[in-house]
C-alpha cells in the first residue's frame, strides 16, 4: 500500500507525543528545559550528517567541485528573500496558533500558547526536513518498500517523546505537516521518482541540513532564526543543480 509508511510515521509522532506529555507533566521545568537543549544537540548532529551531502560524488560529478557549496549558499539566500517577503515564518506560527485555538479553549496563559506553537513549528521542521523524509517517501511512491520510513517512524517517535515532554501537545499536530509533505513526495515518487537525479536529492539534503542547523540553534536557545522563511531554499537548490548541470 503506497502511503503506508507516512501513515505509520504520523501514528508514531502522535503516540510519542502522548507519552511525552504524560511523562513531561511529572517533571520540573528545569528538567524539561534540559531535555529540549539535549534534543537541540541531537538535531545539531542530524544537521551535520545532512550537510555532509555536500561531498556527494554524483552531485560533484554533475556540477563540479566548488559548485555544491555555492548552490546551497545561493539557495539559502534566495530562499530567505522569498520566504521573508511571503512572511512564511509568521504564517506558520499563525497556523500553530489557529490549531491551538481549535483543539482546546483559548488560554490566557501566553507561555502555554507559545509552547504549543513552538512545539508545532519546531517538530514540523525537524520531521519534514531530512534525507529519510525525502528518500523514504520517494521510495514508498516508487513501490520499493517503506523500510526507510519505518526507521524514521521509530526515530520520530522517540524525538516526539522528548519534544512533548517540554513543549506539549503542539508536537502531535506536526503529524499533519508530515502527512502533507511526505505525501507530496510519495506522489512525486510515483510520478517521476525513477528519473529524479541523485544530485538533485543531494542538493535538497544538504540544504535541509543547513535549515536544521537553525532549528538546533533555536532549541539550544542560541538564536531564534526564522527557519520557515528559508523553506523555499529546498525548491531552489535542486533547480539550481539542474540548471548548472545543463549549463556544463
Buried b (16+ CB within 10 A) or exposed e, 117-149: bbbbbbbbbbbbbbbbbbbbbbbbbbeeebebb
Closest CA to 42 of 140, 122, 135: 122
What pLDDT does residue 55 have? 93
What pLDDT does residue 68 have? 94
Find out whether 193 and 143 touch, Cβ atoms under 8 Å: no
Q: Which residue ranges make up each domain of the chain?
A: 4-247
Q: What pLDDT tens digit does each residue of the chain (248 aa) get? A: 788 889 999 999 999 999 998 887 777 778 777 877 887 888 888 888 889 989 999 999 999 888 999 999 999 999 999 999 998 888 877 877 777 676 655 444 566 777 888 888 888 888 887 667 877 888 788 777 888 788 889 888 888 988 888 888 889 999 998 999 899 888 888 887 666 778 888 898 889 889 888 888 887 878 778 888 888 998 899 899 999 998 87
CA 31/CA 178 separation, integer angstroms: 28
Q: Is 65 helix (H, G, I), strand (E, B) or coil?
A: coil
Closest CA to 162 of 6, 5, 33: 33
Amino acid at each position: 500500500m503506497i502511503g503506508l509508511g507516512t501513515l505509520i510515521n504520523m501514528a508514531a509522532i502522535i503516540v510519542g507525543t502522548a507519552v511525552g506529555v504524560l511523562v513531561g507533566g511529572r517533571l520540573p521545568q528545569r528538567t524539561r528545559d534540559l531535555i529540549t537543549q539535549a534534543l537541540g544537540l541531537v538535531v545539531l548532529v542530524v544537521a551535520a550528517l545532512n550537510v555532509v551531502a555536500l561531498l556527494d560524488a554524483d552531485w560533484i560529478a554533475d556540477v563540479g567541485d566548488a559548485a555544491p557549496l555555492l548552490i546551497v549558499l545561493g539557495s539559502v539566500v534566495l530562499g530567505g528573500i522569498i520566504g521573508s517577503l511571503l512572511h512564511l515564518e509568521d504564517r506558520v506560527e499563525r497556523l500553530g496558533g489557529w490549531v491551538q485555538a481549535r483543539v482546546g479553549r483559548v488560554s490566557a496563559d501566553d507561555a502555554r500558547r507559545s509552547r504549543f506553537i513552538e512545539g508545532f513549528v519546531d517538530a514540523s521542521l525537524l520531521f519534514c526536513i531530512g534525507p529519510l523524509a525525502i528518500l523514504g517517501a520517494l521510495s514508498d511512491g516508487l513501490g520499493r518498500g517503506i523500510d526507510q520510513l519505518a526507521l524514521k517512524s521509530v526515530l520520530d517517535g522517540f524525538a516526539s517523546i522528548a519534544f512533548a515532554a517540554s513543549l506539549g501537545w503542539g508536537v502531535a499536530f506536526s503529524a499533519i505537516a508530515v502527512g502533507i509533505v511526505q505525501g507530496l513526495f510519495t506522489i512525486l515518487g510515483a510520478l517521476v521518482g525513477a528519473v529524479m537525479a541523485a544530485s538533485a536529492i543531494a542538493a535538497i539534503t544538504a540544504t535541509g541540513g543547513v535549515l536544521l542547523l537553525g532549528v538546533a540553534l533555536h532549541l539550544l536557545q542560541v538564536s531564534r532564526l526564522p527557519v520557515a522563511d528559508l523553506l523555499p531554499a529546498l525548491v531552489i537548490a535542486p533547480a539550481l543543480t539542474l540548471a548548472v548541470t545543463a549549463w556544463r
